[in-house]
């Protein structure tokens, strides 16, 4: 019940495309849903986050869509660039500052 399921495992898109990464959860006690970007040899960097009372949030080229009834949320990256090639993690927050992470999606943007 504390799992967050993330798909796909990997994704290849052309420059300018819109990669979409999906996550699903079961535990309705989760109260905050962030996305992180991680480059090799670095720690995860917070990209964007949403609370369950909001259905969509945009920050720059990144958009989160949130479907509370379906217990699903997704990340869209508009006008993707080769520099966006990284591993992306969705997460859900439980009981204060305890993040439960998805397994990660390796994104490659081809130029």
Residues that bind other proteins (CB under 8 A): 31-32, 34, 36, 41-46, 49, 89, 91, 93, 95-104
Residue 108: half-sphere exposure toward Cβ, Cα within 13 Å: 5
Nearer CB in complex with other proteins: 17/48: 48
Q: How far is the CB of 14 from other proteins (least distance, A)?
A: 28
Nearer CB in complex with other proteins: 42/83: 42
CA-derived radius of gyration, the chain: 13
Query: Can you tell me the distance from the alpha carbon of 40 to that of 22, in angstroms, rounded to the nearest whole number?
Result: 22
Residue 41: half-sphere exposure toward Cβ, Cα within 13 Å: 0
Nearer CB in complex with other proteins: 43/83: 43
């Amino acid at each position: 019940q504390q799992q967050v399921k993330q798909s796909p495992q990997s994704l290849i898109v052309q420059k300018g495309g819109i990669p979409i990464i999906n996550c699903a959860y079961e535990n309705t006690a989760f109260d905050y849903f962030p996305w992180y970007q991680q480059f090799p040899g670095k720690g995860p960097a917070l990209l964007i986050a949403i609370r369950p009372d909001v259905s969509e949030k945009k920050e720059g080229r990144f958009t989160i869509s949130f479907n509370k009834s379906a217990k699903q949320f997704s990340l869209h990256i508009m006008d993707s660039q080769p520099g966006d090639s990284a591993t992306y993690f969705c997460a859900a927050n439980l009981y204060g500052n305890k993040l439960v992470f998805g397994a990660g999606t390796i994104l490659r943007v081809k130029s």
